[in-house]
Structure 1
Amino acid sequence: MHTENLAQYRCPLCQQALLLTEKSYRCINKHSFDQAKQGYVNLLPVQFKHSKEPGDNKAMVQARRAFLDKGYYQPLLDSMLALYQKYGDKTAAVFDAGCGEGFYTHQHKTEHNSVYGVDIAKETIKIAAKRYQDCFYSVATLADLPFNDGHFGWLYSVYAPILENEFTRILQDKGYLLTVTPADNHLFELKALIYRQANKHDTAKQVIKQLTLIEEQRLNYPMNFSNSDDVLNLLAMTPFAFKASKELINQLKQQKEFSCQADFVLRLYQK
Structure 2
Amino acid sequence: MYRCPLCQQPLLANDAGLQCQNRHQFDRAREGYFHLLPVQQKKSLTPGDSAEMIQARRAFLEAGFYQPLSDAVNQLFTEALAARTVDDRSAPVLLDIGCGEGYYSNRLAQALPQLTLYGIDISKAAVRAASKKYPKLHCAVASSYQLPFADSSFEMLLRIYAPSEPTELARVAAPGAWLLTVTPAPEHLLQLKQQIYSQVRLHPQAVQQQQGFHHHKRQQLSWLFQPKTPVELEQLLQMIPLGYKVNAELNAQLCRDLPAIKLDFYLDLYQRDSSA
Report the TM range for the smaller structure's normalisation: over 0.9
With structure 1 as the length reference, what TM-score do the two structures score?
A: 0.92
Q: CA RMSD in A?
A: 1.5
1:128 aligned counterpart, secondary structure: helix
Following superposition, the deviation at residue 205 of structure 1 comes to 5.5
1:34-73 maps to which residues of 2 (within 5 A)? Answer: 34-73=27-66
- Judge which range, 140-149 or 189-198, deviates more: 189-198
Counterpart residue number, 1:102 = 102
Q: Deviation above 6 Å: which 4+ runs of structure 1?
A: none
Following superposition, the deviation at residue 162 of structure 1 comes to 3.6
Question: What amino acid maps onto 2:239 in structure 1?
Answer: M
CA contact (8 A) 2:122 2:143 kept: yes
1:108 aligned counterpart, secondary structure: helix
Following superposition, the deviation at residue 112 of structure 1 comes to 2.8
Following superposition, the deviation at residue 53 of structure 1 comes to 0.8
Give the percent of matched residue pairs that are identical in Structure 1 and Structure 2. Answer: 40
1:18 corresponds to which of 11, 14, 17: 11
Cα separation, 2, equivalents of 1:41 and 1:60: 21
Following superposition, the deviation at residue 224 of structure 1 comes to 1.6
Q: Is residue 2:79 matched to residue 1:86?
A: yes
Alpha-carbon displacement from aligned partner over 1:179-224 (angstroms, at most 9, x marks no partner): 1000001111122122222221123251424311111111111112
Counterpart residue number, 1:165 = 167
Counterpart residue number, 2:216 = 214
Q: Is residue 2:163 matched to residue 1:151?
A: no
- Judge which range, 202-211 or 77-86, deviates more: 202-211
* Aligned residues between the structures: 263
Question: What amino acid maps onto 2:21 in structure 1?
Answer: I
CA contact (8 A) 2:145 2:164 kept: no
Following superposition, the deviation at residue 60 of structure 1 comes to 2.1
Question: What amino acid maps onto 1:140 in structure 2?
Answer: A
Cα separation, 1, equivalents of 2:264 and 2:175: 31
With structure 2 as the length reference, what TM-score do the two structures score?
A: 0.91
CA contact (8 A) 2:167 2:211 kept: no
CA contact (8 A) 1:232 1:252 kept: no
1:238 corresponds to which of 226, 237, 240: 240
CA contact (8 A) 1:182 1:203 kept: no
- What are the ranges of 5 or more consecutive residues in structure 2 without an aligned counterpart? 85-89
